[in-house]
Amino acid sequence: MRIATGRSDTGNGSANRMPGPCGPSGRRGRTGPAWRAFGVLIQVLLAVARLGAQQWGGELRVCLHSEPRNLDPLLVEDEPSETVRYLTGGVLVRVNRATQQLEPELAISWKIENGGRTIAFRLREGLRFSDGTPFTAEDVAYTVGRLMDPALHSPTADTFRSGSGPVRTAVRGPHEIAVIFPEPVAGAARLFDQVAILSHQSPQRPGAVLGPFRVVEHKPGSYLLLGRNPNYWKTANGRRLPYLDAVRLQIVQSREMEALRLRQGQIQAISTLDPDLFDEAPGARDIGPSPASELLWFNLKAGGAIPAYRRTWFASPDFRHAISLAIRRQDLCRVVYHGHASPGIGPVSPSNLFWFNRRLAPRGFDPVAARRLLESGGFRNSGGILLDRDGHPVEFSLITNSGNRSRERMAALIEQDLAALGIRLHIVALDFPSLIERISKTFQYEACLLGTSNVDLDPNGQMNVWLSSAANHQWNPEQPAPATPWEAAIDHLMRQQASNLDEHRRKALFDQVQQIVWDQEPFLYLVNRDALVAASPLLHNIQPSVLEPRLLWNVERLWLR
Amino acid sequence: MRRTAGSVLLAITALLFLSDCVAPHPYSEQFRETPRAGICRRFPLGTDDLGRDRLSRLLYGGRISLECAPAAAFVSSLLALTLALAGGYGGHWAGRLVGVAADLCLSLPWLFALLAARAALPLDAPAGATVLVTFGLLSLLGWAGPCRMLMAAVKVRRQSEFALAAHAAGCSGLRIAVVQILPNLIPLLWTQFLVTMPAFLLAEANLGLLGLGVPEPLPSIGGMLRDLADLPNVARHPLALAPAALLFVMVSCCQLLVSADEYHV
């Protein structure tokens, strides 16, 4: 993964390093003591200038692509709300978006106890919420209690439910607390990256926050103004961070308008840039594969309105492999994404440094192998039309959501790729609600082209996809029992890894899941989109990450010139 | 002006209908090595995002629009005429019924009706069938406005001296409607046809912009107009505006024909 690093922050001391007394060795000419002293003086002046380079204050302006649905941090389920939660919420531990490692935040340390059923946190002392109320273990207990309240229906709570029983808390002291799960939870600490701690006694909750900013003004449909949290606990050079006074989140749905605003200097950063706009956006950067994938799958749901002979095609791994081999993924990346994508491999993007199975490789374009696989399955080509064993012409429909130009273009490329095999593809662009209705309720579709983004790095976040009983097991959801042996194997491996506390053992188990998915191809992974960002040269200290929020993850250390 | 507009429209129609001979490439052929190419001898209007020849797609897309929009306008006008005659000559209640139906039809959010119809279509319906359904629905929804005008005209002509004379001579209502009234409605009907046709051309363009018009890989003016959303690309390749220009010329010619017709009348 390529991660472009921004300018270094003098707060971490890197810029305080003085240059060595000697210039580059081997230079001849005027190297007398007077010149050396002059050189040292210049470098000292530059270093001093860098030391004081950060500017405090200013308002950072960025865009959200829709209105945040909920500003309650425990009820976040959409991307804009998640951004607001990230900028305002204080969490016990944080996944560093650059290193993808867990780092202490409000908790100084944590310890797994009781065979993985308990996680004990030691909290930072002397912290205060934005309204001045003190931060204690009671606040964590209150937050977890509210999060797990079934009446709240918090989407975040689903990841905490490891078994049939309540998640409890035990306050062990003013700054010590244990969270007790009914069953062992692997990677439990990571779950707390998404839990913004609420004050149990503040009358302003959930407005009282521990993050770098707090919501000051919200004009629905127009903007959200975040002001600095006067009690934020992180400091730099003896002053409380963040450097910025405010962040204005403007609600702009059109990505073209967003790029235009960046060009005109009305905003300073774009965290998700459209590939079509990359070349024109000032300060645009491609920071490598993102966790987002584009994929295609066939409907294998029993009882769906598909002729039986077509279901037989789709259920055949050889047929799926043949389709996969006939698609020119490199063309999808080059033509549709202007080169800002890489061929898809499997359930985990290469951007997920720890969990990605590096033994897997993208399926190449191999029409000869595709034809061979089809012939072995009884298919034959007659006058440029592929026929199955019973003489049915091979044709099927592919649905995707209308308005998404990248997907519509991909579908058009795939249509021509498959036409070379004699397969006729009907592309149907449906409005999003109709598409969701078909893939999740009526199952009246044959193949679907959609995208997915794994927000959670941990494979436990994908349980709702890989378990055969899960609702998001898209190709054949909510199975009473696994329909195939390989789905049963995935069920077994996913459950095993979820209850194992050894990270490396979990990795080995999840690698097997990825291998099975690669072998069986229930999902045909097409491309991994690159994370594209753009930032004004006025914005400093940016360290773009492929994980959300890409440019704002170190918002407390960003500053504007 | 009328002659000029008519000539231009005729020339465009002839060119579009000769697209099989004139188009340099098949409309769906993808030249993937040259996406978003500029003007060159091989691609006179450049290529689109998938490397397809813009000129070929414009010719075929324009032909689809010019085939379907007048057909839909014809069906719509015919429907309007039939209902106007029925409403105007069928007595008080028939007139009220047609009037209420027209009002209801005009208040229908037709975009949602089109969305629903598209969603209800079988997924493996051929692209041609989707085009037919889209324009068919446009023609079914477009009768109401012309019908109200035609019905008013029928009512006026029903009270005219020649109609009363025919009635006094013992002609039946149907005969008066068909033989006496209908020929007098032809100029108005032609005007309504000329008004409806560009409206349907624009409706297809709007649907295409939403991605709900003519399905890929069939080209359409609306589908090609979607490229204009990428403004920086338009700035680099101004010929991406060619579909908009063609649509503008076709709609303008129709409007000029109407204006000239009104002036002439």
The per-residue pLDDT for range A214-264, each reduced to its tens digit, is 999 999 989 999 999 999 999 998 899 999 999 999 999 888 889 999 999
The pLDDT score that the predictor gives to residue B261 is 55
pLDDT reading at A448 higher than 80 = yes
Q: Which amino acid is at A472?
A: N
pLDDT tens string, chain B, 265 residues long: the values are 778 888 998 899 888 888 888 889 999 899 999 988 888 889 998 898 899 999 999 999 999 888 888 899 999 999 999 999 888 887 788 889 998 998 888 887 777 777 777 767 777 777 788 888 888 888 888 888 889 889 889 888 888 888 889 888 888 888 888 888 888 888 888 888 888 888 888 888 888 777 677 777 888 888 888 878 777 677 777 888 889 999 999 989 888 887 755 544 4
Token output for B9? 């429209």
CA distance B46 to B25: 12
Mean pLDDT, chain A, as a whole number? 87
Quickly tell me which residue has 């690093």 as its tokens: A5
A434 closest CB neighbour out of B28, B119, B230: B119
Measured between CA atoms, how close is A68 to chain B, in angstroms?
24
Q: Is the pLDDT of residue A125 over 90?
A: yes
- What secondary structure letter does DSSP report for A290? E
**Angle between helix B54-89 and helix B92-106 axes, rounded to 10 deg:** 150
| Listed range (A341-345, A493-497, A525-529) with the worst mean pLDDT | A493-497
* B231 Cβ under 8 Å from any chain A Cβ: yes
The residue ranking higher by pLDDT, A25 or B190, is B190
Which of B31, B48, B49 to probe by mutation at the A interface, max A CB count within 10 Å? B49
Please state the ipTM of this predicted complex: 0.72
Closest CA to A191 of A94, A124, A259, A288: A94
Return the residue matching tokens 């624009």: B202
Query: Is the CB of residue A73 less than 8 Å from the CB of residue A208?
Result: no
- Closest Cβ–Cβ partner in B118, B119, B216 for A408: B216
Q: Is A419 on the interface with B (CB under 8 A)?
A: no
Planar angle of CA A469, A475, A481, nearest 5 degrees = 30
Of B212, B216, B232, the CB nearest to A277: B232
Average pLDDT value for residue range A367-378: 95
Asked if B50 and A405 come within 8 Å (Cβ–Cβ), the reply is no
What is each CA distance from A340 to A157, A403, A409, B3, in whole angstroms?
A: 35, 20, 15, 52
Within 8 A of B47 by CB-CB distance, chain A residues are none
Longest dimension (CA), chain A: 93
Instruction: Please give the Cα distance from B119 to A402 (Å, whole number).
Output: 11
**Residue A399 pLDDT greater than 70, yes or no:** yes
Which chain A residue shows the shortest CA-CA distance from B125? A426
Nearest to A443 by CA among A467, A479, A490: A479
Rg (CA), chain B: 22
pLDDT of residue A44: 63
For testing contact with chain B, the best of A417, A425, A426, A439 (most B CBs within 10 A): A426
Cβ atoms of A320 and A383 within 8 Å: the answer is no
A239 bridge partner residues: A236
Confidence class of residue A49 from pLDDT cuts 50, 70 and 90?
Answer: low
The pLDDT of residue A9:
34
Task: Please classify residue A449 by burial: count the beta carbons closer than 10 Å to its beta carbon, then call 0-12 exposed, 13-18 middle and 19+ buried.
Answer: buried
Q: Which residues of chain A does B126 touch, with a Cβ-Cβ cutoff of 8 Å? A: 426
Q: Are A326 and A417 in contact (CB under 8 A)?
A: yes
| pLDDT, position A342 | 95
Query: What is the chain A residue with the closest CA to B236?
Result: A280
CA distance B236 to B70: 34
pLDDT band with cut points at 50, 70 and 90 for residue A382: very high
Q: Which of A416, A424, A437 to mutate to test the interface with B (most CBs of B within 10 A)?
A: A416
Nearest to A284 by CA among A294, A274, A292, A297: A274
Q: How far apart are CA A341 and CA A344, in angstroms?
A: 9
Cα of first residue to Cα of last residue in chain B, in angstroms, is: 15
A413·B127 Cβ contact <8 A = no
Q: Is A450:A421 a contact under the CB 8 Å cutoff? A: no
Which residues does chain B have within 8 Å of residue A402's beta carbon, measured at their own beta carbons? 210-212
Tell if the CB–CB gap between A408 and B49 is shorter than 8 Å.
no
Is the model's pLDDT at A335 over the cut of 70? Answer: yes
Distance between CA atoms of A327 and B234, rounded to whole angstroms? 29
- Which pLDDT does position A32 carry in this prediction? 59
| Contact between B216 and A411 using a beta-carbon 8 Å cutoff | yes
Using the predicted structure, report yes or no on whether residue A471 has a pLDDT greater than 90: no
Note whether B123 contacts A: Cβ–Cβ < 8 A. Answer: yes
pLDDT in the model for residue A47? 57
| Residues of B whose CB is below 8 A from A397 | 123-124
Residues of B in contact with A328 (CB under 8 A): 32
The nearest CA of chain A is from the CA of B113 a distance in Å of 13
Stretch A489-514: mean pLDDT: 92
Determine which of A84-93, A459-468, A510-519, A528-537 has the lowest per-residue pLDDT on average. A459-468
Residues whose CB is less than 8 angstroms from the CB of residue A239 and which lie 6 or more positions away in sequence, other chains included? A56
Distance, C-alpha A472 to centroid of its chain: 18
3-state secondary structure of B150: helix
pLDDT of A508 above 90: yes
- B165/chain A closest Cα distance in angstroms: 58
DSSP state of A133: P
| Residues in chain B closer than 8 A to A403 (CB atoms) | 210-211
Q: Which band of pLDDT confidence, cut at 50, 70 and 90, is reported for residue A3? A: very low
Peptide bond into A206 cis (omega under 30): yes
Question: What are the tokens at B170?
Answer: 């013992």
CA distance A431 to chain B (A): 8
User: A419 to chain B, minimum CA–CA distance in Å?
Assistant: 11
Of B50, B115, B118, the CB nearest to A409: B50
- For strands A523-535 and A93-95, give the pairing: unpaired
